[in-house]
Homo-oligomer: A and B are copies of this chain.
Amino acid sequence: MSEYDDAIRLEPGDGPTRRTGTFTEDWMIGNAVNGGFVMAAGLQALGEHLAADPAEETKHSDPVVMSAYFMTASAPGPFTVTTDLMRCGRMLSTGQISLSQPGSDGTPVERMRAIASFGNLEQVDTFKQSTPPDMPPPEQCVSSEQAPPEFLANMRFLERLDLRLDPATAGWALGKPSMKGVIRGWLRLKDAREPDTTMLMMALDALPPVAFDLGILGWTPTLEFTGHIRRRPAPGWLQVSLSSENVGGGMMEEDASIWDSTGALVAQSRQLCGVRLSTGRNG
């Protein structure tokens, strides 16, 4: 079993709408569990709820869209996901997800609330799609392993990934951001576990914040994140591109697109981040 599958594994909770799991330090970025991993865990729970529903017959096994609001930072330790089926339709099944962890007094503290729809992406035709960005092959890109050890010490999540950034968008690591608001890279799980539609939701939020390329090295917490999964990804490398056009009022958007190894657009997202124009690298 891959470390990703092991980390995202859920146990039955009390009743059909609850499942439990445990976040470990391995999936932390800075002082919190990576938000993309939190979303994947929530999606996993809703997918299992749907699969167990007799009316559903598991025909909607692919997450198609998820909107997540982050209320408090997730910490290593046990978590509970509560799911609620809202509508099981012909094309999509939609439900709500609430992920919580026990607070210091044992009372549940909600980390993330989300709404998500599942569908079936087994056969997807293409009428029009955006082309993957032009970038050097992975072996000519900058591996996150090349980052300074003191940077990586706080970024255990990066050890789970094989991430190779396009040198043209990695200048921020040397104190020279392009100021274009673009970061591109190749991504796969370090343990070679192949991507699937749930993992894509995590991959949309796995790269360093695009704010880095604008010289903004402070914390940019995700306030809201919506991801669209458009296809089941082929095995192999994913190509991820981030961009941001609008920064102001203490907020910015971060748009992400992912193409699979065949060059097909497989996922997209837009998130609203808080921006604190302070120093420090607490991504």
Give chain A's interface residues, CB within 8 Å of chain B: 64-65, 67, 69, 71-72, 86-87, 89, 91-92, 94, 96, 110, 113-115, 117, 121, 123-130, 181, 214, 223-224, 226, 228, 230-231, 244-253, 265, 268, 270, 272, 274-275, 277
B245 touches A231 (CB 8 A): no
For A247, give its contact among B128, B223, B228, B275 (CB under 8 Å).
B128
B residues within 8 A CB of A96?
A: 113
| Cross-interface CB contact of A245 among B110, B128, B246, B248, cutoff 8 Å | B128
A226 contacts across to B, CB distance below 8 A? 67, 224, 226, 270
Residues of chain B within 8 A of A181, CB atoms compared:
128
7 A-B pairs in the complex with CB atoms less than 8 angstroms apart: A91-B274, A92-B223, A117-B224, A127-B252, A230-B246, A230-B248, A246-B268
Query: Which 8 residue pairs are nearest across A and B when measured between Cβ atoms?
Result: A67-B67, A124-B249, A126-B248, A127-B247, A130-B245, A226-B226, A128-B247, A65-B224
A69-B94, A113-B96, A270-B226 known; A248 vs B86 contact (CB < 8 Å): no
* Chain A facing B: main interface SS: strand
In whole angstroms, how far apart are the Cα atoms of A92 and B127 in the complex?
39
CA of A86 to CA of B87 in the docked complex: distance in angstroms?
Answer: 22
Contacts of A272 in B (CB 8 A): 64-65, 228
- One complex includes copies of this chain to the number of 2
In the complex, given contacts A86-B113, A129-B247, A270-B270, what are 4 additional A-B residue pairs having Cβ atoms less than 8 angstroms apart?
Answer: A69-B86, A69-B117, A127-B275, A128-B252
**What distance in Å separates the Cβ of A252 from its nearest Cβ neighbour in chain B?**
8
A114 to B113, CA, bound (A): 11
B residues less than 8 Å from A71 (CB atoms): 86-87, 89, 94
User: Which residues from chain B contact A64 at a C-beta distance below 8 Å?
Assistant: 223, 251, 272
In the assembly, what is the distance between CA of A247 and CA of B89, in Å? 21
Q: How far is A113 from B121 in the complex, measured between Cα atoms in Å?
A: 24
**Quick check: A223 and B117 within 8 Å, CB to CB?**
yes
Question: With A69-B94, A228-B272 in contact, do A245 and B113 touch (Cβ < 8 Å)?
Answer: no
CA distance A248 to B64 in the complex (A): 13
Contact A115 B113 (CB under 8 A): yes
Q: Taking CB as reference atom, which chain B residue is nearest A126?
A: B248
Instruction: Give the CA-CA distance A181 to B72 in the complex, in Å.
Output: 38
Output the least CB separation between A111 and chain B (Å).
Answer: 11
Note all chain B residues with C-beta closer than 8 A to A114. Answer: 115
- A121: min CB distance to chain B, Å: 6
